[in-house]
């Protein structure tokens, strides 16, 4: 698989000399990054010249705060460290905004926000060649991220692009019916953006006096740091096996000694 991936990567580099082509080892995942101006033409070439007739997925990405951690799981003599300080992505309340710089745990230097924030990623499949490729392009304007629609190349992209527009606010120029698909009709903002608070902007309740549902700024929920699931090595079984072996060899007790007594 790695040989086929490297061969595909070399073909892509020769066909698109100005684009970044990578191969993830050892999985052999091939990726290419197009400029926004070359996004549609590059996708067309991948379909017509490289045989990627099937689009598996399209999604949006917000790179705000990319590379930062909310939680440090390193072990020290003082135990596990706590969440980092500052208003990182999602960790702020209604009416606030994320910090301009996102601090790292244990006194590391803060990471600056990325120069290019919003991107669209397409996963393509070539059935005839048994190959896959990941295609990505960054929107040139963070205030209004716009990329060309690929619905005319792969009609299945229709609802995927609507989802990326709904959740990330990425506008796909040329889409036949670009409107929200998951959130409510009156929803304000794009919930998968990193500057959208995890607690949301409004809460819904039923007002008995007005006899209707009302929307109000969030007041009953406090932002909190997400805690990742951490899987640590469990040495209990290895220790037990080692102790059992030591008992048999050194102390002369246990099943090994009992077996010797029967002889």
232: helix, strand or coil? coil
Per DSSP (E only), the strands in the chain are 20-24, 29-34, 54-62, 75-76, 79-80, 118-126, 131-138, 146-148, 171-173, 202-207, 212-217
Please report where in the chains the tokens 């040989």 appear, as a residue: 3
**41 has a pLDDT exceeding 90:** yes
User: Measured at the alpha carbon of residue 233, what is the angle toward residues 232 and 236, in degrees to the nearest 5?
Assistant: 125
**50 has a pLDDT exceeding 90:** yes
pLDDT at 43: 98
**67 has a pLDDT exceeding 90:** no
**Whole-angstrom distance, CA of residue 27 vs CA of residue 224:** 35
140: helix, strand or coil? coil
What does the pLDDT average to over 1-7?
Answer: 83
pLDDT band with cut points at 50, 70 and 90 for residue 34 = very high
Nearest to 64 by CA among 87, 85, 84: 87
**263 has a pLDDT exceeding 50:** no
pLDDT at 135: 98
pLDDT at 223: 64
What phi and psi values does residue 259 have, to the nearest 5 degrees?
A: -65, -35
Give the domains, in start order, of the chain with CATH numbers.
Answer: 2-217 (3.30.460.80), 234-263 (no CATH)
Tell how strand 29-34 and strand 131-138 pair up.
Answer: parallel
**Whole-angstrom distance, CA of residue 68 vs CA of residue 48:** 39
> pLDDT averaged over the chain?
80
Question: Looking at per-residue confidence, does 48 or 256 come out higher?
Answer: 48
Residue 32 · residue 18 · CB < 8 Å: no
Residue 49 · residue 15 · CB < 8 Å: yes
What does the pLDDT average to over 216-232?
Answer: 66
Please report where in the chains the tokens 């790292």 appear, as a residue: 104
What does the pLDDT average to over 87-107?
Answer: 60
What does the pLDDT average to over 93-113?
Answer: 60
> What does pTM read for this prediction?
0.73
pLDDT at 91: 64
Q: What is the pLDDT of residues 194-209, one digit of tens each?
A: 888 777 778 788 999 9
């Amino acid at each position: 698989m790695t040989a086929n991936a490297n061969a595909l990567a070399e073909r892509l580099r020769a066909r698109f000399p100005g684009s970044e082509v990578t191969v993830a080892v050892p999985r052999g995942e091939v990726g290419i990054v197009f400029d926004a101006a070359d996004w549609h033409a590059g996708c067309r070439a991948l379909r017509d010249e490289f045989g990627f007739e099937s689009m598996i997925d399209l999604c949006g990405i917000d790179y705000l705060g990319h590379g930062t951690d909310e939680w440090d799981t390193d072990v020290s003599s003082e135990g596990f460290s706590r969440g980092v300080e500052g208003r990182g992505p999602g960790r702020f309340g209604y009416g606030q905004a994320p910090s301009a710089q996102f601090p790292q745990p244990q006194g590391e230097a803060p990471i600056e926000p990325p120069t290019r924030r919003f991107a669209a990623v397409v996963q393509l499949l070539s059935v005839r060649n048994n190959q896959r490729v990941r295609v990505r392009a960054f929107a040139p304007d963070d205030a209004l991220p716009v990329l060309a629609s690929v619905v005319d190349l792969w009609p299945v992209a229709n609802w995927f692009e609507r989802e990326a527009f709904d959740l990330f606010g990425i506008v796909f120029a040329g889409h036949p019916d670009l409107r929200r698909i998951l959130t409510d009709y009156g929803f304000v903002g794009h919930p998968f953006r990193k500057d959208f608070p995890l607690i949301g902007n409004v809460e819904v309740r039923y007002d008995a006096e007005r006899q209707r549902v009302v929307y109000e700024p969030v007041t009953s929920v406090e932002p909190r740091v997400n805690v990742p699931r951490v899987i640590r090595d469990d040495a209990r079984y290895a220790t037990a096996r080692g102790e059992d072996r030591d008992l048999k060899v050194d102390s002369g007790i246990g099943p090994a000694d009992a077996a010797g007594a029967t002889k």
